[in-house]
Structure 1
Amino acid sequence: MITTEINNNINILFSFLKEVILWRLENLEISFDEEAPKIDLTALPATTITSFLINRKVSQWELVTFLIALSPNIKPSFLLDCIAEAFPNGTDLPQFGGVKGKQHRGIIPTGETIQFILGGNNTQDRIQCMSLFSATSTLEKRKVLFLEKALPGEPVMSGKVLLYPESFSLATTGVVPPPKMSAQFPAEKLETGLAWEDLVLNDSTSNEVKELKIWLKHSVTFLEDWGMKNRVKSGFRVLFHGPPGTGKTLTASLLGKYINRDVFRIDLSTVVSKYIGETEKNLSNLFDKAAHKDWILFFDEADAIFGKRTNVKDAHDKYANQEVSYLLQRVESHSGLVILATNFKENIDEAFMRRFQSICEFHLPASKERLILWQSNLPKQLKLDHTINLGEIAEKYEVSGSNIMNIIQHCSLKVLNLNSTVLTLEILLEGIKKEYIKEGRLF
């Protein structure tokens, strides 16, 4: 919701933008830096929109560009009204740029609009405007806005200037709605109602996870306040490896919960495509969406796409290796936490292994951990028959945490179906046997 204070700030900013546009319409030859109206954002009340702009350290050029791109979303007739005020008898004014939308009835600004307002007739300033949309500009690096690709045969700067949807939400409401799973974002948000006390790990794995918590807690101070962002890569890459059901996914979920960051599990079946170039395109969409969001990206069964490169025998091998190389580059340049999870560490390409800051091995729980899992997860309403010794069960049957949860569910439903609250040894062993059979193990 846009509050009254934010609304007042927006009105002030658009009054400033109107002043800039009217100034330019009367002064085509004067440099923007010399005489154009300016505004001090820090003098305005602190709201989401001013904080958004101040945090990105935008210049006056970038501020005006942002407000121009914002205008159709907030005040649809704003650009038309400015021109009408300057030319009450009407004008064509092709140098102003802008296009009509299919549904939007006002002016959608283009790169030419930015060139006109910031550069006027000054060729050097108009050329400088192009740098606002380069890969190195603040507006692009922080995914604030972009210049849409021009139509074939049209001038480069005739493309629309559009805000990234996340930036619009963040600037106006202070929050970014979580994306929905789609072909453009092949990931689902991971959430858990459990706490760290519910995660049972051995000491070595627990220590590795503690290091991750330390990085999540202090990375901003280390990179920004201590000035290390130009010396070390800003992201953090970690490998979780070990048998299924040992807590890899739960750990990823709890890390996000610990630091109040969203965790997204990547659906590799949606990412990987048999068509050449499509896998890279899907990955590019994913990482572009996740840029500057502080999201944790969790690639489960990562060896499906992060697997070892092979000797090139045919075109398929060549493009498969290209996919791995592209992925390596995107993972390494991502500024957030990336977790790769696999059941088989040896399947991960060595080029990735060298770039992990941390490798966490998840073991099947030993008897001590299994006993804790049994004791902490059995429903309080379920009473154990006197013939059941949980210590002996934990010692004898080597099962994972997820196995134990499946067994508890099976047993609980069996007991409920008998209109009872007592778990017998027979039902418990039946549940354990069922898990053994599922995994092709002898009971």
Structure 2
Amino acid sequence: MKEEELPLFATIETDIHWAKEIIAQRCESLNGYQEDKVTEDFLLNNYPPEVAETTYYSQLITSLSDAHKVDDPAWLPVAERLLLTLTLASHVCPTLFEPFSYFQAQGIGINRVGGVKSNGLLGFIPTGETVLFLLAGENVTLRQQIIRKIFDNTHPLMRMGVISLHEVTHNLSRFHGALILSDEYYSLLVEGRPFIPAFSQSFPAQCIDTEESWDDLVVGSQTRFALEEINIWLKEKKQMMDDDHVNRKIKKGYKALFYGPSGTGKTMAASLIGKEADVPVFRIDLSLVVSKYIGETEKNLAAIFDKAENRNWVLFFDEADALFGKRTQTSSANDRYANQEVSYLLQRVENFNGLVILSSNLKANMDSAFTRRFQTMIKFPVPSEVLRKELFNRAFQGRYTIVNTELLDKVVKKYELTGAEINNIFRYCAMMTLHYGHEKVTEEIFTDGVIKELRKKGKAI
């Protein structure tokens, strides 16, 4: 969906006006203490407005409606829509809560409307109790029904991580916790764009992308066919998981292993998979994840998986051998803790409901407990002679054509170069060709570029 097609606030503003009317009606009960037993008729008489615009907000509301069951109460759309609107209003229209602030300043209804104040903030932040007051008042039966329907962890708003309740001290009801809108859904619903977390110590993962296309990935037919299987899974996973029979038989996530020498296209393939599905790919920095301190590695991994859970992200563990490698014999306490880390990884990867890609130089380095659980293991071998010739021809074009094509053929035939190494040779040749003002890549420049790359690998020339 293009950002310019999103009339971001049209539906949100309509819902805020709708919520304002409900607040005005309910605040009448605060003027004097009286029985405040809200009935289901009150909810049905305040049915939310219909949505028409094609925005992330309207799409979320539509998905909530599609998730309703036949036996759900008729007032459920009112309850979940008001919960969503109040949570959003803290970000886009905090003046919606001014009536509550007034009554609390007068000491009226303090125990009825909920709400909290943040450090240094004079305003009113709605809590779970605020929602329950507006929807049920002192109707205990209706209150419990609403709790079961919209505050249960199985409700889409909670399960998908759209909304959560701030944790409170152990002696308070959890509904005294403030309503929290996740960063991801703030970006989607308010800004109209996906949320990409910044690389940090608490989230040691970097979003990677590519300007290249599948045509630029030169791999064998077997590798290409296996990669297409992942593309198909990303396209069909929602429909598959919506099928009760499929959902009972298989886990929601997908695990893939890319293995082969460095520079053969593993990272590029992961980036292209994300580009094809229009989902972010996060490459995990294992140097920040793995810790020498006991328990810290699991903590770092938990931060990544917790943030990625229920989000449409791809997790890419590059050079994963160090973390996902074979478990050792438990001859020492350190070995036991290392094995615990692998076991923890196995559990989190197994239960992750998205796509996890592990990259390794050698399949044999991986723990067998992981390899049994991969849906696919894709080999990225050193390009064959035919593929090497194609890689060279794709790089050396136009002004950067090599003068001596026979020399090129000899290099292609004699040296097993990867795609990354061929790109390094091209980079050197393009730089030197421009520096010396040549019309094409000379034999001398090309030879120097090849020798420079082979020396890096310690190969005989």
Report the TM-score when normalising by structure 2: 0.86
Inter-CA distance 93–422: structure 2 relative to 1 (3 Å threshold)? closer
Inter-CA distance 246–18: structure 2 relative to 1 (3 Å threshold)? same
Contact 2:15 2:48 in 1 (8 A): no
Q: Who is 1:180 aligned against?
A: 198
Q: Deviations over 1:373-407 (max 9, x none)?
A: 00001142124233644222211111111011111
Deviation, structure 1 residue 15 = 3.1
SS in 2 for 1:11: helix
Q: Does 1:96 align with 2:113?
A: yes
Deviation, structure 1 residue 118 = 4.2
Among 107, 111, 118, the residue aligned to 2:128? 111
Q: Who is 1:121 aligned against?
A: 138
Deviation, structure 1 residue 345 = 1.1
> Partners in 1 of 2:194 and 2:35 — Cα distance?
39
Inter-CA distance 87–406: structure 2 relative to 1 (3 Å threshold)? closer
Aligned residues: 442
Q: Deviations over 1:271-318 (max 9, x none)?
A: 222233332222222223223332222111111211222333333233
Structure 1 stretches of 4+ with a deviation exceeding 6 A read 86-89
Deviation, structure 1 residue 33 = 4.0
> Partners in 1 of 2:145 and 2:329 — Cα distance?
46
Q: Who is 1:149 aligned against?
A: 167
For structure 1, the residue ranges without an aligned partner over 5 or more in a row are none
Deviates more, 1:282-291 or 1:239-248: 282-291
Report the TM-score when normalising by structure 1: 0.89
Deviation, structure 1 residue 211 = 1.6
SS in 2 for 1:206: helix
Which structure 2 residues correspond to residues 213-362 of structure 1 after superposition, within 5 A?
A: 213-224=231-242, 228-362=246-380
1:218 partner letter: E
Which structure 2 residues correspond to residues 17-32 of structure 1 after superposition, within 5 A?
A: 17-18=22-23, 21-22=26-27, 25=30, 30=37
SS in 1 for 2:316: strand
Inter-CA distance 383–136: structure 2 relative to 1 (3 Å threshold)? closer
SS in 1 for 2:282: strand
Q: Who is 1:67 aligned against?
A: 85
Contact 1:9 1:45 in 2 (8 A): no
Contact 1:238 1:360 in 2 (8 A): yes
SS in 1 for 2:119: coil
Q: Who is 1:50 aligned against?
A: 58
Contact 1:388 1:424 in 2 (8 A): no
Deviation, structure 1 residue 40 = 4.6
> Partners in 2 of 1:23 and 1:186 — Cα distance?
50
2:230 partner letter: L
Deviation, structure 1 residue 225 = 5.8
Among 367, 378, 383, the residue aligned to 1:365? 383
SS in 2 for 1:338: strand
> Partners in 2 of 1:275 and 1:127 — Cα distance?
45
Q: Who is 1:402 aligned against?
A: 420
Inter-CA distance 192–91: structure 2 relative to 1 (3 Å threshold)? same
Inter-CA distance 121–384: structure 2 relative to 1 (3 Å threshold)? same
State the identity %: 36
Q: Does 1:10 align with 2:15?
A: yes
Contact 1:222 1:228 in 2 (8 A): yes
Q: Who is 2:411 aligned against?
A: 393
> Partners in 1 of 2:146 and 2:290 — Cα distance?
38
> Partners in 1 of 2:392 and 2:353 — Cα distance?
39
Inter-CA distance 203–24: structure 2 relative to 1 (3 Å threshold)? farther
Contact 1:41 1:54 in 2 (8 A): no
Among 192, 210, 225, the residue aligned to 2:228? 210
